[in-house]
Amino acid sequence: MGLPAACLFDLDGLLLDTEPLHSQAWLEATSAYGLILAADQLLALRGRRRLDCAEQVRSWIAQADLVPPSREVLLAVRQPIAEQLMRQVPAMPGAQMLVERCIAQAIPAALVSSSSAAAVAHKSGPHGWIALLETRVLGDDPDLGAGKPAPDPYLLAARRLGVDPAACWAFEDSLAGARSAKAAGCLVHVLLPAEQQLAVGLKPQLPGGCTLLQSLEQVKLS
């Protein structure tokens, strides 16, 4: 396999180990309204924009015959919890090396995240290497239509880099993200550590043709 035309990177759970913290923030926020989210519900929230997540959570609260808050109130409850948890987020093993190798080999690269620009800045502050990904498509991008799992984020990233999406390698860790990249035509690599496969059963739900990785250290750029 030759080199990709570009590498497109998700952030949460792929470059930074934030997904358990996002889940914890949603668990604490929804418990205030009497709902304890199940593992499959937390899985369904992964990789999606926070506004989309909030609407999904509100529907679950209503389905449980509880009184859902407005989207704005729910996010206002969750936001300080998430900010506190995200202060010292570790990088995923091999993430920094992979990004730096892309840049060193002059492979175009972009960050494709459902997080807002402010959230990305907050989480990536201690990780200066993330600034190497200058081309970005984020959850609050004014040019973005639908978020993941729609193909829009990856199509926009490829367009900004001036490359064919079908010639890009997309790196994801969530079902929504993998579906987004696959629908855009990318070659999709999904970070799925063995213990995560057992915990949430994500593997059987992934679109066909994905390359599964237990670590980003497995990626070969040669």
Cβ-count burial of 102 within 10 angstroms (0-12 exposed, 13-18 middle, 19+ buried)?
buried
Closest among 6, 8, 56, 63 to 29, alpha carbons compared: 56
Residue 195, C-beta contacts closer than 8 angstroms, at least 6 positions apart: none
Q: What is the spatial distance between Cα 12 and Cα 200, in angstroms, rounded to a whole number?
A: 17
Q: What is the spatial distance between Cα 130 and Cα 73, in angstroms, rounded to a whole number?
A: 31
Element (DSSP H or E) covering residue 21: helix 19-31
CB 163 within 8 A of CB 180: no
Name residue 16's beta-bridge partners.
12, 91
Q: What is the spatial distance between Cα 30 and Cα 94, in angstroms, rounded to a whole number?
A: 33
In the structure encoding, which two tokens stand for residue 105, read together?
Answer: 């080999």
Provide the CA 101 distance to its chain's centre, in angstroms.
21
Active centre residues (catalytic): 10, 12
